[in-house]
Structure 1
Amino acid sequence: MQYADLVESYRRIDATASTDEKTAIVASVLEAATTDELERLLPLFRGKVTPAYEGADLGISSSLTLEAIRKATGVAESEIRTTWHETGDLGTAAAEAVANQTQQTLFSTDLTVESVFETLRDLLEYEGEGSQQRRIDAVAKLLSNAEPEEARYVVRTVLGHLRIGIGEGTIRDAIAQAALDGSDEATDAVEYAYQLTNDYPLVARTARESGVNGLRDLEIELFRPLQVMLADSADSVEDGIDAVATSDGPLLAEYKYDGVRVQIHKDGDEVRAFTRRLEEITEQFPDVVESVRTRVAADSCVLEGEIVGYDPDTGALTPFQELSTRITREHDIEAAAEETPVVVYLFDLLSLEGESLLEESLDERLARLDSVLEPEEWAIEPTQHVRFDPADPELARELYADALAAGHEGLMCKNLEVPYQPGRRVGYMLKVKPTMEPLDVVVTRGKYSEGRRKGKLGRLYLACRDTEHDELNEVGRLATGYTDEQLAALTDALEPLITETDGRDVNVRPEVVLEVEYEEIQSSPTYDSGYALRFPRFVRRREELSVSDVDTLERVEALFEAQ
């Protein structure tokens, strides 16, 4: 397939605001594609070349891409930078440079989807001395064979800024339409298969070759993480009980820890750990790996738990901000493990000795977990929990009080009779935290500061999720609570996500999730949510959360009513 054909579909998708039209365009491309082409088209529609769980970084920054554009076109760097600055898009700068290039390739070839995809995949393999120059040369070769519009999207893909509004839901629906009959049953099957595998090319191929039954037959695969089952929020223990109880049977209450939710895969001595966002953190937590390797009596399994930091001298919990530095640590890993030791609290078992346990009840999964776990204090333990009668929640109330007194976030309330449902908030698992708790919100736009903080995105606009309309609604603007160092780090995280620039104002892709405190919630016509956080204050960045994890508009409304 010619890359120009894919670019034309990009342009058509970008030109419409209709989700149905976007889906139809993607579906038509997938339906016409060969099975081999699906393997490349689906990642490229999302602007990626690997599944999310591989955590692949192409290793080419904006500055290296700029050099590739200059090398391919002969256009002066200053001219490219001017267009980049004016448009806020290096892809547009690349398109203009190709249109006005001062040098021509003697033997150019048309770009194909395969050549673009494979070239970008090859970037992952470049290591060691000279690897940066090899990346520049590879991208420059693509651009030297590209037409202006092709160059625009090559660069956007290289930088992870495709910007055509294609989300997971669009890809899901397009696969259901292209490979199946587009019915609700087909869509649900595609969604479940993706939540289980996190691999849309695999899902599309399976749907095409084996239909809905084939999608339902997909299983957990070791070292390919599945999406975690999600919890809704409740305002009190009693509300949590009412929401999760489906019978007179006992419920489970357990500590809600303030740590890093982790999915751990074990196959013999090989152990790998993934966050809820599917980022691999195996190297950063060798202590967790060793605990699982030696204290879990199973040849193969998939576990779920929470990594929590602690002070070995006092037993006091380590603030999440300190623990989170281990996630991004690339050097002196052993020293970091000594400085911030951790314990992993296990609360679920999803697979054991090659057998999926997803269809088993939580009660059965916990029994199987208990049979293989050999706890070691301050290394690997089951979560602190109680079973209680929903008609008599006193034990749950006591555990909730104990959790807060110990410095934990609150309580989880779970139905023991239900199976595991990847990637869904199903009402059988709720978290209970104090009323007027901090909110997790996502940054949608910002404004550069003046004065001492010039050059930093000091004003950040915050949004919650409107689940009914599947959109983000803003709830206020943040300008306080961070140190200069924290603000610099936030600016570094946000700038690669900028999609539009207007003077000092920028729009960003909603990926950076923050925890904020506030004095109260007010009704407000200023923001499209109808509410505004009064005096919001930065608490921390929630790197382990994605936009699908931020608090909902319903939650904001409930907190507003509870004031």
Structure 2
Amino acid sequence: MEYATLAAVYRSVEATQADTEKTAALADLFRDAGDLLPVVVRLARGKVYPRYAATDLGVSSSLTQAAVEKATGVDANRIEEWWKETGDLGAAAERAVAERTQRTLASTPLTVERVHDTLRELAEYEGAGSQERKVDAVAGLVSDADPAEARFVVRTALGHLRIGVGDGTVRDALATAFEVPVDAVERAHQLTNDVALVAETARDEGEAGLHELDVELFRPAEAMLARAADDLEAGLADVGTGDTAYLEVKYDGARVQLHKDGDDVRVFTRRMEDVTAQFPDAVEAIRAGVDTDRCILDGELVGYDPDTGDPVAFQRFSKRIKRKYGVEELAAEIPVTLHLFDCLHDGNSLLDKPLAARLDRLDALIDPIPGDIERARHLTPDGPDAAETFYREALSAGHEGVMCKNPEAAYTPGRRVDTMAKVKPTMEPLDLVVTRAKYSEGRRSEQLGRLYLACYDADRDALREVGRLSTGYTDEELAALTERLEPLIRERDGRDVDLDPEVVLEAEYEEIQESTEYGSGYALRFPRFLGVREDLAPTDADTHERVERLYEEQR
């Protein structure tokens, strides 16, 4: 397949705001992809590896800019000027190719296979000269690209395709293309997190094949998620436990899924990121404290102060999630305890088993090591007073609250379920998505210091803004945020920019007010930055329903 064919689909999808038109265009593409289906379906999301692969192409904006300069002969300053105009290096590459001053004597038309394979190979370049090799590889693609192709080659290399296609669009397109139920595609993807596998299964084996897909070692499933309850009484009532209530401490750490096959251990975050290298202490704890060869466990990694034994704030602990260097030193500074609360696989899938049975397996598999690997603290209370005491003790110990669970419930990946509720004090900080931003004034004029925040509306599958944040960060934090956000700029209007909604922040505030200024109908009063939630995806942000409930509770 010529890459021009794929680029034409990208262009048509980017040009429409209608979800039905995006879905139809991708469905046609998938249906006609033939043997290239796994490649094409990944490229539709701007990816060349599965979501959970511990693979970083290592392509920065500066590297890509250098590649465009090398391929086109256009001066770097002009490329950077075009880039700043739109906030889109892909658009700058498109313009550079259209105005290039040098051409190869005989260019070779790009194919989908070549673009895909070349970009995958970038992750394998290591050591001396690796950056130059990456520049040459990307430049080679841009040299043979027409302007429209260059736009999308560069965006894919940077990991931000920016055509308005999310997992839901790809899901609907696969269902349409291969005439299978949307729910079956969604469930298969939640279990495997491999859209290429799901696509081939849907095409070749239909609905029956999708239902056969299950959780497997080293291929993480999406986490089952809890609904927020107004208070402890409501939480117990919401999960329908009756007289068989089950409570666990809700920790303020990182939700992780642990996969073990002999001594081979991997740690995945809730966002499917492989953070095994960042947590060698957790890996050793699993090897020492889990008495089975093969299993998949669900738990929470919590950072503790080595001097006091108190849990540290997530903002401090989150440094460990992104740390690439000096891992051992940071592990000594912020040691972790792995608190386990579910067993998804013990050589066979346990997802359809009730929680009580999964917990029995968990107890049989682990040999707790205090401070390293432990069962999440839990209680089956004999009445409301015991439940309330457990809740207050969790808060006093510095934890977030408690989880209420139905012991008869199966494990449902990727869903907020009615059989599990989280109970925390009201007016706690909110986790919100950055959707827009504006450059600050004065000494911070080069920084994106005014950030528009949005909650997630699950009913609409959309983000709805709840206010603008401009305080709470240090100069260093703001500089790091700006560096993180600028590659996500979609459109620029003067000092205002629209962003790809990928970064989730934690913000505190004084109160929630009604407002017609923001799409949610609410506005946070005096929001302040607390930190970046590295462990959360945009759809994991606090919900519009939650914002509404907090507003009502404060009245």
Smaller-chain TM-score bracket: over 0.9
Quote the offset at 1:90 in angstroms.
Answer: 1.4
- 1:301 is aligned, of 286, 295, 299, to 295
Unaligned runs of 5+ in 2: none
Give, in whole Å, the separation in 2 of the partners of 1:335 and 1:118.
37
Contact 2:87 2:486 in 1 (8 A): no
Q: Are 1:235 and 2:234 counterparts?
A: no
Q: Does 1:77 align with 2:76?
A: yes
Q: Which residue of 2 aligns with 1:394?
A: 385
Q: CA deviation at 1:219?
A: 2.1
Measured after TM superposition, the shift of residue 85 of structure 1 is 1.9
CA distance in 2, matches of 1:112, 1:543: 35
Measured in 2, the distance between the counterparts of 1:489 and 1:140 equals 28
Q: 1:197 aligns with which of 192, 198, 218?
A: 192
Q: 1:362 aligns with which of 328, 340, 355?
A: 355
Amino acid across the alignment from 1:406: A
Where 1:220 maps in the other structure, the secondary structure is coil
| Alignment pair present for 1:523 and 2:517 | no
Deviations 1:338-379 (A, max 9, x none): 111111100000000x20000000000000000111111111
1:221 Cα deviation from its structure 2 partner: 1.5
Compare 58-67 and 190-199 and name the one that shifted more.
Answer: 58-67
Residue type at the aligned position of 2:117: E
Q: State the Cα distance separating 1:548 from its structure 2 match.
A: 0.7
Residue identity matched to 1:337 = A
User: How many Å separate the matches in 2 of 1:164 and 1:333?
Assistant: 36
Which stretch shows the higher mean deviation, 68-77 or 228-237? 68-77
Answering whether residue 322 of structure 2 is matched by residue 323 of structure 1, we say no
Residue among 283, 287, 312 paired with 2:306: 312
Aligned twin of 1:286: 280
Residue 49 (str. 1) matches residue 40 (str. 2): no
Partners of 2:193 and 2:243 lie apart in 1 by 34
1:504 match: 495
What are the Cα deviations for residues 196-238 of structure 1, in whole angstroms up to 9, with x where unaligned? 1000110011111111111111122211111000111011011
Question: Match of 2:239?
Answer: 244
Whole-angstrom CA distance in 1 between matches of 2:31 and 2:243:
48
TM-score of the superposed pair, with normalisation by structure 1: 0.97
- Tell me, what secondary structure is at the counterpart of 1:231? strand
User: For 1:357 and 1:216, how far apart are their aligned partners in 2?
Assistant: 15
Q: TM-score, normalised by structure 2?
A: 0.98
Which residue does 1:484 correspond to in 2? 475
The partner residue of 1:403 within 368, 373, 394 is 394
- Counterpart of 2:205 in structure 1 is 210
CA-CA distance at 1:249 after TM superposition: 4.7
Deviation per CA, 1:242-262, whole angstroms, max 9, x where unpaired? Answer: 2101x6451211100011111
The Cα shift of 1:312 comes to: 3.3
Q: Secondary structure at the match of 2:55?
A: coil
Residue 215 of structure 2 corresponds to residue 220 of structure 1: yes
- What value does the CA root-mean-square deviation take over the aligned residues? 1.2
SS of residue paired to 1:162: coil
Is 50-59 or 109-118 further displaced after alignment? 50-59
Q: Percent identity?
A: 59
Q: How does 1:20-419 map to 2 (within 5 A)?
A: 20-34=20-34, 36-179=35-178, 181-182=179-180, 186-245=181-240, 248-352=242-346, 354-388=347-381, 392-419=383-410
Alignment-mate amino acid for residue 484 of structure 2:
A
The answer to whether the aligner puts 1:432 opposite 2:426 as a matched pair is no
State the alpha-carbon separation in 2 of the partners of residues 99 and 550 from structure 1.
41
Tell me if structure 1 keeps the 8 A contact 2:86–2:490. no
One-letter amino acid of the counterpart of residue 101, structure 1 = R
1:451-466 equivalent positions in 2, closer than 5 A: 451-466=442-457
1:403 maps to amino acid: A
- 2:459 maps to a residue whose letter is E
The 2-side partners of 1:401 and 1:167 are apart by 40
Preserved CA contact (<8 Å) 2:306 2:333: no
Q: Which moved further from structure 2: 306-315 or 122-131?
A: 306-315
Aligned counterpart, 1:474: 465
Q: Between 259-268 and 248-257, report the one with greater CA deviation.
A: 248-257
Residue type of the partner of 1:188?
Answer: D
| TM-superposition CA deviations, 1:44-86 (whole Å, max 9, x none) | 1101111111142211211111111111111122222222222
- String of CA shifts for 1:115-162, please: whole Å, max 9, x gaps: 110111111111111111111111111111111111111111111221
Partner AA of 2:197 in structure 1? L
1:159-206 CA distance string (max 9 Å, x none): 122111111011111111112x24xxx211111110010001100111
Question: Unaligned regions of 5+ residues in structure 1, if any?
Answer: none
User: Which amino acid letter does the alignment assign opposite residue 336 of structure 1?
Assistant: L
Tell me if 1:514 matches 2:505: yes
- Find the residue that maps to 1:120 and give its secondary structure: helix
Match of 1:381, SS state, is: strand
CA contact (8 A) 2:447 2:478 kept: yes
Tell me the amino acid that sits aligned with residue 207 of structure 2. Answer: V
Aligned AA (1:199): D
Letter of the 1:305 partner, please give it. G
CA distance in 2, matches of 1:234, 1:446: 32
Aligned partners of 2:46 and 2:19: how far apart in 1?
18
Distance across 2 between alignment mates of 1:7 and 1:375: 53
